[in-house]
Amino acid sequence: MARKKIALIGSGMIGGTLAHLAGLKELGDIVLFDIADGIPQGKGLDIAQSSPVEGFNASLTGASDYAAIEGADVCIVTAGVARKPGMSRDDLLGINLKVMEQVGAGIKKYAPNAFVICITNPLDAMVWALQKFSGLPKNMVVGMAGVLDSARFRLFLSEEFKVSVQDVTAFVLGGHGDTMVPLARYSTVAGIPLTDLVKMGWVTKERLEEIIQRTRDGGAEIVGLLKTGSAYYAPAASAIEMAESYLKDKKRVLPVAAHLSGQYGVKDMYVGVPTIIGAGGVERIVEIDLNKAEQEAFDKSVAAVAGLCEACINIAPALK
Ligand code: A3D
């Protein structure tokens, strides 16, 4: 069987890390793409030169022409700019929306059968626009955010409880970051819900709230430390987990920004929900009952995403 082909559109900090991880895990041959000519070629060559040492088999090439992504099985999109001081969220949205238009056209032309994972921010709006610009089936275009948000939550919980990260599961819904909705009664330590752990005296409600807030602010905490950029190791690892579930038909249950067509009462928007990712892309959206407080938090999150989509439509009316 021929190797799978993975196209990384955007070869910056996350793109380079994705290439390294995809190589180490032998997910397939890797094409790095970027408009900054030389960067994808240089990173590809550098990582390829690590393959004899690490002992993995994968070809890594770099390109600044979309023809190079032809026939890709997976495309992971990080192209765009990050917010710089003095730049409003709308400024960023306008710039990255144009990038999504170009990327969408490239994928439509050269990789129409790919499973597409968008990481570019503002995530929930960019993945929505990318699906429309590319015209790919909605179950084949997703956004990465929930895996990262829940990984951050799991890490902080494991540190709090002094248990292995492997025994902590977290359930998050909603938009990325600020409006993320962690569901304590579905997040567990070895199957014991956080709500029970509060009753058992493992953690107070107030301390749990602090951990949740740190998770929401997880991206900003890293930007504050790095000063010149945002997180890239954990975002890349999260997207690779999603790509692997698709490529190996693992049917992992993962929180992703998925297209909703009525689920959770939401129509034609991308919002973070639990999904099953397998060879059919998003094979199922897992719908759970929300209590009043959870529903309110989810509605607030959906309203924030809707606001971003409206802003996109104002810039590019064709998205309507
Ligand atoms: P960075 O290192 O700046 O890489 C972005 C790359 O995109 C650069 O190499 C650019 O040259 C390239 N690029 C710009 N415009 C285009 C274009 N039109 N076509 C092709 N390539 C282009 O950023 P990064 O890798 O650190 O982050 C990438 C994106 O991910 C940003 O939008 C971040 O805000 C976002 N991000 C999202 C999360 C989520 O959890 C959703 C987490 C971390 C970062």
For residue range 39-53, list pLDDT tens digits in order: 999 999 999 999 999
Query: Do the bridges between strand 267-278 and strand 188-189 make them parallel or antiparallel, or are there none, so unpaired?
Result: unpaired
Nearest CA to ligand 1 atom 2: 12
State which residues of the chain have pLDDT below 50.
none
User: What is the whole-number distance in angstroms between the Cα of residue 74 and the centre of ligand 1?
Assistant: 17
Ligand 1 site, residue 150, Cβ cutoff 6 A: no
What tokens were used for 273?
A: 């929900």
The enclosing H or E element of 71 equals: none
Sheet holding 188-189, edge to edge: 168-169, 188-189, 192-193
Per-residue pLDDT tens over the stretch 82-112: 877 667 667 889 999 999 999 999 999 999 9
Residue listed under structure tokens 């409006």: 179
Give the integer Cα–Cα distance in Å for 174 and 298: 6
Concatenating the DSSP letter of every residue in 280-300 gives: TEEEEE------HHHHHHHHH
Give the integer Cα–Cα distance in Å for 155 and 163: 10
Complex ipTM: 0.99
Give the integer Cα–Cα distance in Å for 87 and 201: 45
Beta carbons of 134 and 116 less than 8 angstroms apart: yes
Q: Evaluate the CA torsion angle 180, 260, 97, 143 in order and state its sign.
A: positive
pLDDT of residue 286: 96
Give the integer Cα–Cα distance in Å for 244 and 118: 15
Ligand 1 site, residue 59, Cβ cutoff 6 A: no
Domain architecture of the chain: domains with CATH: 5-144 (3.40.50.720), 146-314 (3.90.110.10)
The catalytic position among 176, 243, 266, 298 is: 176
Strands (E), the chain: 5-9, 29-33, 60-63, 74-77, 115-118, 141-143, 168-169, 172-173, 181-182, 188-189, 192-193, 252-261, 267-278, 281-285
What tokens were used for 276?
A: 């099953």
What tokens were used for 100?
A: 């999504």
Q: Evaluate the CA torsion angle 90, 92, 98, 102 in order and state its sign.
A: negative
Give the integer Cα–Cα distance in Å for 9 and 17: 12
Q: For the whole model, what pTM was predicted?
A: 0.97
CA distances from 263 to 15, 201, 226, 286 (A): 32, 36, 38, 9
pLDDT of residue 92: 85
Beta carbons of 258 and 275 less than 8 angstroms apart: yes
Active site annotation includes 176: yes
* Ligand 1 atom nearest 83 alpha carbon: 34
pLDDT of residue 179: 85
Give the integer Cα–Cα distance in Å for 264 and 241: 25
Give the integer Cα–Cα distance in Å for 140 and 133: 13
Phi, psi of 180 (to 5 degrees): -55, 140
Ligand 1 site, residue 79, Cβ cutoff 6 A: yes
> Can you name the residues that pair with 174 across neighbouring β-strands?
272
Query: Do the bridges between strand 168-169 and strand 188-189 make them parallel or antiparallel, or are there none, so unpaired?
Result: antiparallel
pLDDT of residue 208: 96
Cβ neighbours for 70, distance < 8 A, ≥ 6 positions apart: 110, 111
Beta carbons of 181 and 294 less than 8 angstroms apart: yes
- Our mutation pick for probing the ligand 1 site, out of 35, 152, 176, 241, counting the most ligand atoms within 8 A of Cβ, is 35
Ligand 1 site, residue 15, Cβ cutoff 6 A: yes
